[in-house]
Amino acid sequence: MSSAEIAALLRWYGTSRRRLPWRERPSPYRVWVSEIMLQQTQVATALPYYRRFLRRFPSLRALARASERDVLGHWAGLGYYARARSLRRAAREVLSRHRGRLPSDPDSLRGLPGIGRYTAAAVSSIAFGRHHALADGNVARVLSRFLLLEGRAGSARLDARVWEAAHEAMAAGRSMGSARFHPGDWNQSLMELGALVCLPQSPLCGDCPWIRRCAAFRAGKQETVPAPKRALAAVRVPMTALLVRRSEELLLTRRPGTERLLSGHWALPEPKQLPRARRGRLLGTVRHSITRHRIVLQVREGFLEDGPLPAGAIWVSRKRLDAFLVSSLWRKAVAFRQR
C-alpha cells in the first residue's frame, strides 16, 4: 500500500470518524473496556452500556475491587457474559502482576484473560501508539476488497492473507514517520471505513476515499468480495425451569460451570437441581437465542417439600432479582411470576 493511499484514508478518518467516548479520552483502561464491549456488539448498542459501566467502574482499580455480581449486573443485557467475567479477572491480574498498569506490548496483553490477538493489537496501537497491525471483520472486508483478496469471509486462508496485508500496510505507514502516521488512528480508520462506508452489503463506494484505487471496485466485485461465510445451522435447546415462590421471594440457584450456556449464572432452578420438588402447571414458554442456540424454556410452577434448601439455592426478594438475574432469558422467565 502506498503512502498516498494511507494518507488519503487518514484524512478521511480525521474528518468523518464518529465522536465516541473512548476515542475522545483514550486511556488504556477506557480503550480496553471499549474493545471488549465491541466484541460481538455494535457501537450503537454498546454506547449506553459503556457509559454506565465507566460511571460505576471509572478505573481499573475500581473494576478489580468490584464483586463479580456487581460487574455482571452492569453488563446485564449486553450478552456474552464471559467477556465481563474475563474483564474483571484481567483487572485483578493487572493489579497483582503489573502494579495496576495495563501492559503496552501485545504479548503481555495476550497473557490476560479475554484478550486475544485482535484486542491486544487494538489496545497496544490505540492506547500506547505501538505499531501493531490488526484485522477484525470490518478490516478484513476493507482490505480484501481494496486488494482484491478473494476467499470466504472468516476462512483461515483469507484471514492469513488479510493479516499479512495489515502488517504490510502498518510497515508502510511506519516509514511515513510519526508526524504523518499514528498506528492507532490507522487501525481505527480501517475499522471505521468498514463500519460506515465499506458495508457488507451495498458498500457506499461513492463516499470512499479509496474509490480510484480499490481493486474490487475497478473489477466490479465490491458486492461479491469477500464471499459470505457459510451459515452454521441453528441448534434447538429445550429447557425447563421451576418458578418456586415464597411470598414475595423466588428461589434461585447457580448454574454449574460445566453448563454449555450461561454457566455460573444465577437462574431459576432446573428440575435436576431440585430433585425433591414437585412440578406444577406450565406458566409459559420463553424463546431466546444465544449465538446459534435457540432456547425454548418452559417455565413451570415448582413446590418444595419441607426440609433444608438444596445446596447453593437462595431465596431472593422481587426487588433484588435484577441484581442476580443478568441474562434477559431469566428476566423474561420471572415475568411469569405474577400470573
Instruction: Determine the interface stretch with ligand SF4 among 6-14, 42-50, 196-204, 297-305 (rule: CB under 6 A).
Output: 196-204
* Dist CA 71 CA 69 (whole Å): 5
Under 8 Å CB-to-CB from 35, ≥6 apart: which residues? 119, 122, 123
Name the catalytic one among 5, 24, 35, 259. Answer: 35
Q: Are 90 and 112 in contact (CB under 8 A)?
A: yes
Q: Specify the residue, 205 or 261, whose C-beta has the smaller distance to ligand SF4.
A: 205
Judged by CB under 6 A, does residue 205 bind ligand SF4? Answer: yes
Give the Å distances, CA to CA, from 66 to 62, 74, 299.
6, 11, 32
Under 8 Å CB-to-CB from 104, ≥6 apart: which residues? 28, 124, 127, 128, 130
Number of residues in contact with ligand SF4 under rule CB under 6 A: 14
Under 8 Å CB-to-CB from 308, ≥6 apart: which residues? none
The interaxial angle of helices 156-174 and 137-146, nearest 10 deg, is: 80
The least CB distance from residue 145 to ligand SF4, in Å, is 4
Judged by CB under 6 A, does residue 216 bind ligand SF4? Answer: yes
Q: Which of 183, 203, 226, 269 binds ligand SF4 (CB under 6 A)?
A: 203
Q: Which of 75, 81, 146, 266 binds ligand SF4 (CB under 6 A)?
A: 146
Judged by CB under 6 A, does residue 222 bind ligand SF4? Answer: yes
Judged by CB under 6 A, does residue 191 bind ligand SF4? Answer: no
Q: Which of 12, 32, 128, 210 binds ligand SF4 (CB under 6 A)?
A: 210
Judged by CB under 6 A, does residue 12 bind ligand SF4? Answer: no
Judged by CB under 6 A, does residue 145 bind ligand SF4? Answer: yes
Q: Are strands 266-267 and 249-254 parallel, antiparallel or unpaired?
A: antiparallel
φ/ψ of residue 185, rounded to 5: -65, -40
Q: In the annotation, is 35 catalytic? A: yes
Q: For binding to ligand SF4 (CB under 6 A), which residues are involved?
A: 142, 145-146, 197-198, 203, 205, 208, 210-211, 214, 216-217, 222
The set of catalytic residues is: 35
